Structure 1
Amino acid sequence: MHVTGTITEKGVHIGFGSTLLRFLDRWACRRFDERARAAGWRVRSPAPLIRIYSRTVEQALVTCRACRGTGSTGRGPCLDCFGSGESP
């Protein structure tokens, strides 16, 4: 049986409206997604026109400026990073 205006993807019947929505989703978010991926961010799309941009913990942390990554100062543990040597 042939039905016009529809496609089948992964065994699921998808109508023309869903295909159009997917096209608009990619068109609207393409530049943002490319920039985020180029910067090393992870991009997820749980639903059309919705994006979640995230970084791993390792990417989010930087060396603490107060103790220069040592975790301690002349007075004891660094109070800015709580002795970890890293700060967000």
Structure 2
Amino acid sequence: MVYVNVDFEGVPKEILDAGIRRGYAKTKADLLRLALLAFNDKYSVIEAQEDIENARDVQRVDASVASGKGRWLSSADFAKRTGVRR
């Protein structure tokens, strides 16, 4: 966890106060957290957690295949085993 003390003046302070008044968040800290999430949505500073987890899963499967403990299925084999088709 990171703790930060920041003094806001002028327009940034007005934005925070208006965000609280309009009910976007109950506290300035929560409003700043929401702003950081919106910033990330707009600029993709970090990948979404789901994307990170998916990448880790692929790495795990690749390692399993490379070590001979697992194997990739062709689309046809996958469809036969699961009944799922494209």
TM-score normalized with structure 1 length: 0.29
Higher relative contact order, chain-length normalized (CA < 8 Å, sep 6+): 1
- Whose helix fraction is larger, Structure 1's or Structure 2's? 2
- Whose strand fraction is larger, Structure 1's or Structure 2's? 1
